Structure 1
């Protein structure tokens, strides 16, 4: 078993056997709101535990964890060749031997010219060389360096590697260089999961009451005061909204949070319960 303290990173994949908390799984699911975890729930290594303590039975470690599999996908994506790279490799397989042959031919021609005396010593010294045979060698190397298709063979795999790395940094995983290549022709994106296209910052849009004796401002004041001691993203959004509305907030007493459910506290002479419907 592994004991996961509040605020710490979950080190392994496993199943909760004791405790309750809310785990931030945004790195895997994209969900901004932490996911409640109780007994028998699955946790993923690399996610962040909330305010509760969890005891987890280890299910996968090292290369078998979800995070490692994601990293493996990124690594394998850099190895899958796009069509343009295969085309460049075919061209290079013909072009490279041709360039080498021309370089050897150039060296041979200039070597003959040197041996036959067609190139005088004065011309050699004016070119900055002391040996006429070096001139022939330098001309052959010049053809090889200038005409060698290094850029053609290296540009595409370098672009795929850099593109995959930058995409992974921004949370976008490409399953191969061929997928990255086809992405240039995409004109429509369809997302099959809601809640992931956000700014990662929750905000309050409306405050509604079902009690005529309690106004919206009073309800927001009570909720924001209670949430001032909470680290939950929803609580922070409520507290920030009350600050913008310039409401007078109070310090809660006897604050107690129930992981993944809600909280209770005392505000002046009132007991405040704030949470989901089932817990209330």
Structure 2
């Protein structure tokens, strides 16, 4: 058993830093990619660079009720899919005293409820191929927490909790579902956080010090996604895999 993805159809939500690395790796391994993102410019750029992207569709994850129609449109083109990777998400840095319901709900919609809705839609009869594998990107923040990121950390913790239950329901269909908790990774989101903290700040430095193997690269996360999608991980479901440079053990 190896990382064999020839002619496998993979649905990918989010074509940002990690999402692009995932698409690039899975394509090189033989996959056909079907992309969802709200940013049409990013999708166009990716499609021009990566010939194995067969479809790009605009998807507003904050509008959870619209997702079912979007998934039907994708599946009409792709047919039953072999894998799904959820790389979408937003972070929201605001003190707890400002964590009002509307702001919290927007983060939860994009980071959590949309993930669950896509999984619900693609696991209906006729929508998936045998041995479908699903991977959602969580975060070490779901376990450690971060100041001023109550909504973000809660959304990722919700994803981990939901997957443990969903895995048990989907197992009879031979569907596996897992999450990955990346550590601090060199992505556009990380670079924005660096601006917010200031690269010389003690708070920013402490985040990196705990990650004693160093800053993760998007490719590190993509490698783990490929593993969890493949038959090499056939006995893993309902789990959260830490890819964190040692952060959770420091």
Please confirm whether the aligned pair reaches a TM-score higher than 0.5, indicating the same fold: no
Which structure is larger by alpha-carbon Rg, 1 or 2?
1
TM-score range, shorter chain: under 0.3
Please identify which structure carries the higher helix content.
2
Structure 1-normalised TM-score?
0.20
Higher relative contact order (CA 8 A, sep 6+): 2
